[in-house]
Structure 1
Amino acid sequence: MINGETRLAGIIAKPIKHSLSPYIHNTSFQLLNVNGVYVSFETEAVNLREALSMIKIWEMYGVNISMPYKRAVIPYLDSLSEEAELTQAVNTVVLSDGKLIGHNTDGIGFVSFLEAESIDYHRKEVVILGAGGAAQAIVTQLALQKVSAIHVFKRNNETFSTIVAQMKQLSQHLGVAISVYDFDDINALNYLLEKNVILVNTTNVGMGAQATSSPLSPQAKLRAEHTVIDIIYYPLVTPLMRQARNMGCQTFNGLGMLVHQAAVSFELWTGKAMPVNEIYKRLLVTLSGEEENDN
């Protein structure tokens, strides 16, 4: 029940109407009897500073930050968590003692999902397809967790050399081997697939306009011992997942990561643990229904 003591949380992005975050957080507030409400703020870039200032003025819990503002918010924050500092990207802002603290929960959420699913990653090498914001957060958190090695496959375009330099710096800072390859280097990929690796797709190939495509070449030599994770959560089963299942691989979509990264934000704001399993079940029902309506 919204009343005079209800605290606000929300998400700042553009566009934002597609977001599942209001459903996730408002359901969590209700299940835990927390007097909070979570709303979407579709914000123009020129209004970003003013939008963030309202967190202090209204004494909000904080906000999530989504595209295209994960880097743009940083100059307007008072400090950053270690993960946000390393990735130079923020997806959660917390009001703490009158200060705006920037966090990045994407990587932490990914690792929490791995642990919840009992996926052994500590002694594994991890192959990452893509090098965008989500990939960098995942790479950073896996490096902090000291996995054996991380291999990033990225399109050889104008940002390739920048990503190579960033990953080299991160590798040296955290003491974990991180390599960057041309996305189309099938020989390098198949060499790595000779090992018992975890393969993670962070590209958008498999959703939206590319919903019928897989980011992985048909020449890729997947084997049954590989674990394949596609961080896309709609559709629930992507072409990559079907490709991997045909080879006997264990597969996961991105719904678990979505819920676990949201849970980290929720706990930073409220000090309470999100009911992850219940939220996951409800989202699964919702998304399954949407898929049926689309077909």
Structure 2
Amino acid sequence: MPRPISRDTRLCMSLSGRPGNFGTRFQNYLYEALDLDFIYKAFTTRDLPAAIGGIRALGIRGSAVSMPFKEACIPLLDELDASASAIQSVNTIVADDGWLKGYNTDYSAVASLLESRAVPKDIRFALRGSGGMAKAVASAFRDSGYRHGGILARNPETGPALAAGCGYEWLAELGDTRPQMLVNVTPLGMEGGPEADTLAFSREQVEAAQWIFDVVALPVETPLILLARELGKPVITGAEVIVLQAVEQFVLYTGVRPEAELIERAAAYARG
């Protein structure tokens, strides 16, 4: 029987422009499995300062932060962990007695995947995107020792800024360039979005690449990942990123690190 909600139950939440169910299902599964007096709920908002103020005023333990709030929330917080201050992007807020501290668990998740999958350090990659998540991914590549990269972004402000900050080239268009690794950090291919069926890169570009990395987590098999698998390319998926970063959020909220087998069960449940 699930633990009853009481006045002592700790609330955790998420703030996203397009709330999904993965985080809610993942976190609540672990709370119940480990008999922790927590509950998790997803939200969106049109008033970010009021939403962040609510976290502070109501004693909410923590909040995940997704697009488009990862950078906009920073002036509303009291402190940034090194993982967030270095890239000026927050995906997790933890509250202690009204003191709000921002973290970025996306960064550590991507760095961990690059290492565990043994992606060659001398590979040339192109990363599409220049928002908060793109900052985390590009910085993870940089700090993991990847020196040959380009930031593919049409935005004439955020694209060059991200490229310069990470020591990469800015590309308004990919053109005839054929990088060995393609990385999508945009909503292209996202379930429920206006471009859910859109490939982040052309078929020709995917055919020429050696590795494909799509940060979009839902659907698990995005159009880009499906094409890469069809062509026999090794892939890193957003589903892998979302699990790793969610585990670190769970640890920050509760102080408990689940066993690997339990994490796998929670992830399978969350995708169901």
Match of 2:121 among 108, 123, 137: 123
Aligned to 1:67: 67
Within 5 A, what are the aligned runs for 1:27-106?
Answer: 27-45=29-47, 48-96=48-96, 98-106=98-106
Match of 1:164 among 150, 160, 164: 160
- TM-score using structure 1 length: 0.79
- CA RMSD in angstroms comes to 2.4
Per-residue deviation at 1:104?
1.8
- TM-score using structure 2 length: 0.85
- In the alignment, structure 1 segments of 5+ residues that lack a partner are 172-176, 287-295
Match of 1:216 among 187, 195, 201: 201
Match of 2:187 among 184, 204, 220: 204
Distance 1:247 1:186, change over 3 A: farther
Aligned to 1:136: 135
Per-residue deviation at 1:67?
3.0
Q: State whether residues 77 and 101 of structure 1, in contact with CA within 8 Å, keep that contact through their aligned partners in structure 2.
A: yes
Q: Distance in 1 between matches of 2:17 and 2:199?
A: 27
Per-residue deviation at 1:223?
5.0
Offset from partner CA, 1:121-170 (integer Å, 9 cap, x none): 36243331222222111011222222233322123xxx3244213421x2
Give, as a single letter, the amino acid of the residue that structure 1 aligns with 2:83: E
Aligned residue for 2:203, secondary structure, equals coil
Per-residue deviation at 1:19?
3.9
Q: State whether residues 186 and 220 of structure 1, in contact with CA within 8 Å, keep that contact through their aligned partners in structure 2.
A: no
Offset from partner CA, 1:174-205 (integer Å, 9 cap, x none): xxx4222123x3322x1x33xxxx32211222
Distance 1:214 1:55, change over 3 A: closer
Q: Distance in 1 between matches of 2:254 and 2:161?
A: 37
Aligned residue for 1:219, secondary structure, equals helix
Q: Distance in 1 between matches of 2:43 and 2:32?
A: 21
Match of 2:168 among 157, 168, 178: 178
Aligned to 1:291: none
Aligned to 2:268: 281
Distance 1:94 1:245, change over 3 A: same
Per-residue deviation at 1:9?
0.8
Q: Distance in 1 between matches of 2:188 and 2:18?
A: 20
Query: Is 1:187 matched up with 2:176?
Result: yes
Give, as a single letter, the amino acid of the residue that structure 2 aligns with 1:11: S
Structure 1 segments, 4+ long, off by >6 Å, are none
Aligned to 2:109: 109
Q: State whether residues 55 and 61 of structure 1, in contact with CA within 8 Å, keep that contact through their aligned partners in structure 2.
A: yes
Query: Is 1:7 matched up with 2:24?
Result: no
Q: State whether residues 256 and 280 of structure 1, in contact with CA within 8 Å, keep that contact through their aligned partners in structure 2.
A: no
Q: Distance in 2 between matches of 1:33 and 1:254?
A: 28
Q: Distance in 1 between matches of 2:252 and 2:218?
A: 27
Aligned to 1:290: none
Q: Distance in 2 between matches of 1:57 and 1:242?
A: 45
Identity over the aligned pairs, expressed in percent? 28
Q: State whether residues 259 and 279 of structure 1, in contact with CA within 8 Å, keep that contact through their aligned partners in structure 2.
A: no
Distance 1:164 1:281, change over 3 A: same
Q: Distance in 2 between matches of 1:71 and 1:221?
A: 30
Offset from partner CA, 1:68-104 (integer Å, 9 cap, x none): 3222221221111223223322221112465210112
Aligned to 1:289: none
Q: State whether residues 110 and 138 of structure 1, in contact with CA within 8 Å, keep that contact through their aligned partners in structure 2.
A: yes
Moved more, 106-115 or 61-70: 106-115
Distance 1:30 1:113, change over 3 A: farther
Q: Distance in 2 between matches of 1:204 and 1:248?
A: 24
